[in-house]
């Protein structure tokens, strides 16, 4: 499954329908606290930071059964409590002028609707022959609705096209209630609930916990002193040495326009298996091997002999969170030496072992919410170079994503940073990147990515 902007997904002409949830039961005050990541996102957006949404698109075979699809959406909203809950900032949030605490999460109000309290309405826009008009409408719809400041902070749409015996489902949600792994679960869950509502057998979805409960538990839990101290020491070292990592090559001047994106399939399924074997032979994991290749590619281009980045790690530390919708992510710094002479025998294995050692060293940092550590250190942790890795081969029905034309989506971004997503799927290894839209960044990112496939293949042969 690729991870791209909505504009990179092929949107056809056809009949578009918006599916709009609304509450038919009263909203009740809910004293459960938000997670650290959720709070930080609210604060960032309230202080002028651009909102960010994540989403997906996929096809379902056959004609759209309106009652069955409405039933599937309602069941899915009942399944994930975070979709029936809303948070808002109270006046004075973050005001420290009177000695208040800027991280006082009691200044956030939560209200929730019980199971069965949400109805889903439909707004049909009729058949549009202009595919570009459909694409523009979807983009505006997602940008307007997928916001942390109103409910719903998510949106559904369907598109029925005369060109295919399928309909396409589009979903987008504000980042405060969803992460990258949540996204890859959606096609399976909504498709299963739709089949069930259409009379084609039970959905058989595994039980899930509530991200609302997770946030509250995260606030109440006492972090082991040794664990928190280790996380604090790791991040303090990052800031003391050279600050948060930046992309190792020049990415040009800052601009006001949206970033560019790139998505490349670096390896096929069998090639990915061969690369995994090479990593095992070197005594490292797949991600460490991939990081080694990223580092070597940069060094070949003159980036120097050190590779530094920030990588997300999941915090789904209980079975009830495994398929839950939410933002279950911590952050770890990565910093390792890259051998300048990568032509000598064993160079890949040596660099990969450096990468694995760095991942092992930084892992304690991911056990403590990074916003909690940032508040303790008095320094906000806002990454500028992020490398994310997910192995999604074993997500239910992942082998059908290609048939479903399933794709993960992200909103446009305007920041001056670089984000890299490495996804190992049943189809192979995909790399998605977003970066500033200027000539320098485009040239360096294009060359950097073009270096990666030969390096990955060389590692399998080495």
Percent of the chain beyond pLDDT 90? 81
Strands (E), 62-199: 85-89, 108-112, 118-128, 154-160, 166-174
* Domain identity same for 44 and 136: yes
Residue ending a domain, among 214, 239, 255, is 214
Instruction: Taking each helix axis as running N to C, give the angle between helix 269-282 and helix 439-461, from 0 to 180 degrees, rounded to the nearest 10.
Output: 70
| pLDDT per position as a tens digit, 233-246 | 999 999 888 889 99
* Domain identity same for 165 and 292: no
CATH assignment at residue 277: 3.30.559.30
Range of the domain at 91: 3-214
Among the listed residues 391, 236, 394, 247, the one whose alpha carbon sits nearest the alpha carbon of residue 314: 391
| pLDDT per position as a tens digit, 16-61 | 999 999 999 999 999 999 999 999 999 889 888 888 999 999 999 9
How buried is 315 (Cβ within 10 angstroms: 0-12 exposed, 13-18 middle, 19+ buried)? Answer: buried
Residue ending a domain, among 214, 232, 267, is 214
| DSSP of 279-310 | HHHHT--HHHHHHHHHHHHHHHTT--SEEEEE
Average pLDDT of the residues of the chain: 92
In what order do the strands lie in the sheet containing 108-112?
Answer: 28-30, 108-112, 85-89
Q: Work out the average pLDDT over 64-91.
A: 96
CATH assignment at residue 171: 3.30.559.10
Residue ending a domain, among 195, 214, 233, is 214
* Domain identity same for 229 and 357: yes
> Is it the case that residue 317 has pLDDT exceeding 50?
yes
| pLDDT per position as a tens digit, 243-273 | 899 999 999 999 889 999 999 999 999 999 9
* Domain identity same for 43 and 120: yes
* Domain identity same for 284 and 201: no
State the DSSP H helix or E strand holding residue 407, giving kind and residue range, or none if neither.
Answer: strand 407-410
* Domain identity same for 203 and 231: no
* Domain identity same for 398 and 333: yes
Beta strands 428-435 and 418-425 are antiparallel
Q: How far apart are CA 319 and CA 46, in angstroms?
A: 33
* Domain identity same for 242 and 287: yes
The reported pLDDT for the residue numbered 97 is: 35
The reported pLDDT for the residue numbered 95 is: 43
| Structural domain count of the chain | 2
* Domain identity same for 170 and 234: no
The reported pLDDT for the residue numbered 412 is: 94
* Domain identity same for 359 and 210: no
| Residue 157, helix vs strand vs coil | strand
Q: How far apart are CA 26 and CA 14, in angstroms?
A: 36
| pLDDT per position as a tens digit, 87-100 | 998 876 444 333 33
The model carries a pTM of 0.93
* Domain identity same for 198 and 315: no
* Domain identity same for 187 and 265: no
């Amino acid at each position: 499954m690729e991870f791209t902007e909505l504009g990179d997904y092929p949107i056809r002409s056809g009949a578009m329908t918006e599916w709009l949830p609304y509450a038919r039961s009263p909203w009740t005050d809910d004293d459960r606290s938000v997670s650290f990541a959720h709070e930080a996102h609210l604060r960032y957006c309230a202080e002028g930071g651009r909102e960010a949404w994540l989403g997906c698109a996929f096809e379902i075979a056959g004609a759209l059964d309106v009652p069955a699809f409405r039933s599937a959406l309602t069941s899915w909203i009942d399944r994930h409590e975070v979709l029936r809950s809303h948070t808002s900032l109270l006046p004075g949030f973050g005001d420290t002028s009177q000695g208040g605490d800027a991280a006082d999460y009691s200044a956030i109000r939560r209200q929730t609707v019980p199971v069965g309290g949400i109805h889903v309405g439909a707004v049909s826009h009729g058949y549009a022959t202009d595919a570009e008009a459909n694409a523009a409408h979807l983009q505006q719809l997602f940008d307007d609705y997928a916001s942390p400041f109103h409910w719903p902070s998510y949106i559904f749409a369907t598109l029925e096209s005369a060109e295919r015996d399928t309909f396409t489902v589009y979903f987008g949600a504000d980042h405060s209630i969803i992460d990258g792994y949540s996204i890859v679960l959606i096609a399976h869950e909504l498709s299963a609930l739709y089949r069930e509502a259409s009379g084609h057998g039970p959905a058989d979805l595994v039980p899930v916990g509530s991200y609302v409960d997770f946030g509250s538990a995260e606030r109440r839990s006492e972090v082991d002193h040794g664990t928190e101290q280790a996380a604090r020491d790791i991040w303090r070292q990052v800031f003391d040495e050279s600050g948060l990592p930046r992309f190792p090559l020049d990415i040009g001047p800052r601009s006001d326009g949206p970033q560019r994106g790139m998505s490349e399939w670096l390896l096929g399924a069998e090639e990915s298996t061969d690369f995994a074997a090479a990593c095992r032979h070197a005594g490292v994991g797949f991600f460490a091997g991939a990081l080694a290749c990223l580092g070597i590619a940069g060094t070949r281009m003159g980036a120097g002999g050190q590779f530094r980045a920030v990588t997300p790690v999941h915090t789904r530390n209980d079975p009830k969170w495994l398929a839950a919708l939410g933002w279950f992510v911590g952050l770890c710094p990565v910093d390792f030496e890259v051998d300048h002479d990568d032509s000598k025998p064993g160079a890949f294995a040596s660099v990969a072992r450096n990468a694995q050692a760095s991942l092992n060293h930084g892992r304690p940092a991911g056990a403590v919410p990074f916003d909690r550590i940032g508040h303790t250190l008095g320094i906000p942790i806002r990454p500028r170079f992020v490398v994310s890795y997910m192995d999604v081969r074993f997500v239910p029905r992942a082998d059908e994503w290609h048939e479903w034309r399933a794709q993960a989506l992200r909103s446009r971004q305007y920041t001056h940073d670089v984000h890299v997503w490495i996804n190992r799927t049943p189809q192979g290894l995909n790399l998605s990147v977003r970066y500033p839209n200027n000539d320098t960044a485009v040239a360096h990112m294009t060359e950097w990515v073009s270096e990666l496939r030969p390096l990955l293949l060389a590692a399998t042969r080495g």
